[in-house]
Chain A
């Protein structure tokens, strides 16, 4: 699925990713952990094509296709989805309208027919219910006046509706209480499958109790400095990142 090789990237002329390599096969969930400033969010933005994040070397492919050559919206249509650490407010655009516009844009890009209004509403009701989102909330402008937890749930709802193949969760646990964490994690776990892969970016081990990773990677100083099974997350929780930062 995703293959990143010796990736270098800079922001405002400062190199943040310094030769990062990573492979996430289909069907697997990989966690990326690391200290502040290690380049975790930069990795998510580089993979999704944000302006201002300049790739200076290396490659990133999705099922063999060069991701870095594609515009952000084309990557989205290919099935790359980023659940934002800080979801944006979109005034005047109801959540339902927003999701339907996005879904249809993606379907058009893939040469598929647009979803019909009844089919869309049915799907939205079903997914909202699973995430315990009041359907009326979907008629309000997306994320405007929503709490931190509501915004995160809205991200997962979008994810469920858009049905991406490669999912990046950036600090999805931040700002969530324990109940919300469970609901969100259930939503994410429901999307696990043999045709999908996930990259879960987090500071803390806590989220990984709910979304169990197949592999854990430590990102420090712009590179993956250690990889291991789920036990690595527990080790990090106990001993911190210090020795990895020194290694970097």
Chain B
């Protein structure tokens, strides 16, 4: 039988999701369901000030009046928003000052996931390996943030969103919701009402953040949603590189992850934001379970010559629906989007970016690589627009799709709008199938079929992998390989 026709049988027999375990700990839940009292409950749990509660309640009112959007190329049964927990937290959480106070089961969880939370563990790593600080978010709360003191010495604030609301209200009030407004879209609005935790970063003027920052999101509790909210501000001339990783246990129910990420760069500032998304993708054969990853990520390049770079490796989730975008407001500001989106089994992804050119001489670059295998569907959806004032705006887009097998689908939906005569946009797109000729050629040189697929796929995504911070690029490469294990018979 020809190699690729065996795809489906092979994929079906695999148990390849390696983060599917559940941590058994005592948790606090809000009562199931969603109403204004739940919003108050969440706010109270977090000891939030009155203004924050008012903001949430306003968002909740608006959300009630909105309809769930249906334009994305994904199919799923209607979500029952009353059948979920909107707050789940490990017990005995409040007021943790050091790692020793964190529930050992949680530390063990992160250890299993390969995320070092003890600073000495990070330091004890390979000599010369770059250190990075971690904010660990477990269901609805941040359990620990490492390297805070060291970062504080240079004025960098890196903490959980809940802490930022209490400790740095002036910054939060100034920036929260200014990039993704409360009622931007259905899921962002829901997030504004019930957001649980997330990371907050502020890098003061002229400071280059001395280490990589990262947040590790873990959904553990059953029937719960995760609604984190992340806000990163790079003040004038500042630089920060930030990475988020995500995993979840294998469960038969779908779980909703509706996050909001807002990035703000002032004059000459730069933010590099990388995502390695590996939520549980659901059962590859039946499509049962898995995370609905409906996320709003947007950057506002407010300052002149500022820069934001999004890099994402999307391998997990039953359904992915996200478009990390850049609003290029400042003169000469630039945005980049590098994406690898892999779908296998029954996964569906509708992802891409928006580059909104508002200022003069703004530049953007999009490199999107989609890989579909099994019976999955993978859509690139992107918008590049230049407004009348964006004279001299430039964009380059390259959008490549790779198909493995005969039952998967790839779609490309680019929107291009130039509202002035001096913008220059380029768009290149290719769709190819992983060919049996190529596979045989590589195998004839001595590589097994798995190795051959890995080599070919790594070649396909190379342009994007090299944009990731080095210590994560290797991880991402492995993840790509795992996601496609058995995709060819």
Residues of A within 8 A of B (CB): 48, 50-52, 71-73, 76-77, 81-82, 84, 87-93, 98-99, 101-103, 105-106, 109, 141, 158, 162
| A77 with B446: CB separation less than 8 A | yes
Most buried by A among B442, B449, B456: B442
User: What is the CA–CA distance of A88 and B461 in the complex, to the nearest angstrom?
Assistant: 18
Whether, in the assembled complex, B451 has its beta carbon less than 8 Å from a beta carbon of chain A, the answer is yes
Tell me the nearest residue of chain B to A142, going by C-beta: B459
Pairs across A and B, CB under 8 Å, 8 listed: A50-B440, A50-B444, A51-B2, A51-B440, A76-B444, A93-B462, A98-B455, A105-B451
Chain B residues within an 8 Å CB radius of A87: 441
**A75: nearest chain-B partner, CB-CB:** B444
- Most chain A CB within a 10 A radius of its CB, from B436, B444, B447, B459: B444
* CB <8 Å contact, B459 and A141: yes
B437 and A88 form a contact (CB under 8 A): yes
Q: Which 3 A/B pairs are nearest by Cβ-Cβ distance? A: A92-B459, A102-B445, A93-B459
CB-defined contacts of A73 to chain B, threshold 8 Å: 443-444, 446-449, 451-452
With A51-B2, A73-B447, A77-B446 already in contact, the answer to whether A92 and B440 are too (CB < 8 A) is no
- Nearest residue (CB) in B for A83 is B444
Assuming A76-B446, A90-B438, A162-B446, is B455 touching A51 (CB within 8 A)?
A: no
> Which B residues are in CB contact (< 8 Å) with A98?
445, 455
Query: What CA separation (Å) do A213 and B449 show in the bound complex?
Result: 34
Out of B1, B3, B446, name the residue touching A106 (CB < 8 Å): B446
A106 to chain B, nearest CB (A): 4
Contact A76 B455 (CB under 8 A): no
Instruction: Given A50-B440, A51-B440, A87-B441, check contact A92 B447 (CB 8 Å).
Output: no
B422: Cβ under 8 A from any A Cβ: no
A141 proximity list for chain B (CB < 8 A): 459
Q: How far is the CB of A102 from chain B (nearest CB, A)?
A: 4
Given contacts A51-B440, A84-B441, contact A105 B459 (CB under 8 A): no
Q: Known contacts A90-B438, A92-B460; decide if A82 and B455 are in contact (CB<8 Å).
A: no
**Nearest CB on B from A75, distance (A):** 8
Tell me the bound Cα distance from A72 to B448 in angstroms: 8
Q: For B440, what are the chain A residues with a Cβ–Cβ distance below 8 Å? A: 50-51, 72
Name the contact of B459 in the complex, choosing from A51, A77, A91, A99 (C-beta under 8 A).
A91
Encode B63-83 as 1/0 by CB contact (under 8 A) with A: 000000000000000000000
Q: In the bound complex, what is the Cα–Cα distance between A141 and B459 (angstroms)? A: 9
A101 to B452, CA, bound (A): 10
- Which B residue's beta carbon lies closest to that of A93? B459
What are the interface flags for B375-387 relative to A under an 8 Å C-beta threshold, 1 for contact and 0 otherwise?
0000000000000
Q: Mark B428-441, 1 if CB is under 8 A from A, else 0.
A: 00000001111011
For A84, the chain B residues whose CB sits under 8 A away are: 441, 444
Q: Which residue of B lies closest to A107 (CB)?
A: B446
A92-B460, A105-B448, A141-B459 as given contacts; A76 in contact with B438, CB under 8 Å = no
B447 touches A52 (CB 8 A): no
Tell me how far the C-beta of A121 lies from the nearest C-beta in chain B, rounded to whole angstroms: 19
Which among B443, B452, B455 has the highest number of chain A CB atoms within 10 Å? B443
Closest-by-CB residue of B relative to A143 is B441
Task: Name which residue of chain B comes closest to A105, CB basis.
Answer: B446
Q: Which of B3, B435, B446 contacts A109 (CB 8 A)?
A: B446
Say yes or no: A92 contacts B462, CB within 8 Å. yes
Known: A72-B444, A81-B444, A84-B441. 12 other contacts (CB 8 A): A51-B436, A72-B440, A76-B446, A82-B444, A89-B438, A91-B459, A92-B462, A92-B463, A98-B455, A102-B447, A106-B446, A158-B445
Q: In the complex, what residues of B have CB within 8 A of residue A101's CB?
A: 447, 451, 455
Q: How far, in angstroms, from A104 to B435 measured CA to CA in the complex?
A: 24
In the complex, chain A residues whose CB is within 8 Å of the CB of B1: 51
Q: Nearest Cβ in chain B — how far from A120, in angstroms?
A: 15
Q: Smallest CB-CB separation from B3: which chain A residue? A: A51
Chain B nearest CB, measured from A180 CB (Å): 21
Contact code string B305-333 (vs A, CB < 8 Å = 1, else 0): 00000000000000000000000000000
A20 CA to B435 CA in the complex, in Å? 29
Given contacts A52-B2, A92-B463, A101-B455, contact A71 B448 (CB under 8 A): yes
Provide the B451-470 mask, 1 if CB < 8 A to any CB of A, else 0.
11001101111110000000
Tell me how far the C-beta of B240 lies from the nearest C-beta in chain A, rounded to whole angstroms.
29
Report the Cα distance A48→B437, complex, angstroms: 13
Candidate in A71, A72, A77, A141 with the most chain B CB atoms within 10 angstroms: A72
CB of A143 to closest CB in B, whole Å: 9
In the complex, chain B residues 76-117 whose Cβ is within 8 Å of any chain A Cβ: none
| Cβ contacts under 8 Å, B448 to chain A | 71, 73, 105
Question: Closest CB-CB distance, B293 to chain A, in whole Å?
Answer: 27
Residues of A within 8 A of B452 (CB): 73
Question: Which residues of the partner chain A approach B462 to less than 8 Å between Cβ atoms?
Answer: 92-93
Given contacts A51-B2, A71-B448, A105-B451, are A92 and B458 in contact (CB under 8 A)? yes
Q: How far is the CA of A162 from the CA of B442 in the complex (A)?
A: 13
Q: How far is the CB of B344 from chain A (nearest CB, A)?
A: 20
Chain A residues whose CB sits within 8 angstroms of the CB of B442 once the complex forms: 90, 102
- Contact partner of B456 among A50, A90, A109, A158, CB < 8 A? A90
- Chain A contacts for B458, CB-based, 8 A: 92-93
Taken together as a complex, chains A and B put the C-alpha atoms of A87 and B3 apart, in Å, by 19
- Whole-angstrom distance between the alpha carbons of A77 and B451 in the complex? 14
A156 to B438, CA, bound (A): 18
CA distance A141 to B462 in the complex (A): 11
Least distance between B411 CB and chain A CB atoms (Å): 21
For the complex, give the distance between the alpha carbons of A32 and B109 in Å: 63
CB distance from B7 to the nearest CB of A (A): 13
What CA separation (Å) do A71 and B440 show in the bound complex?
A: 11
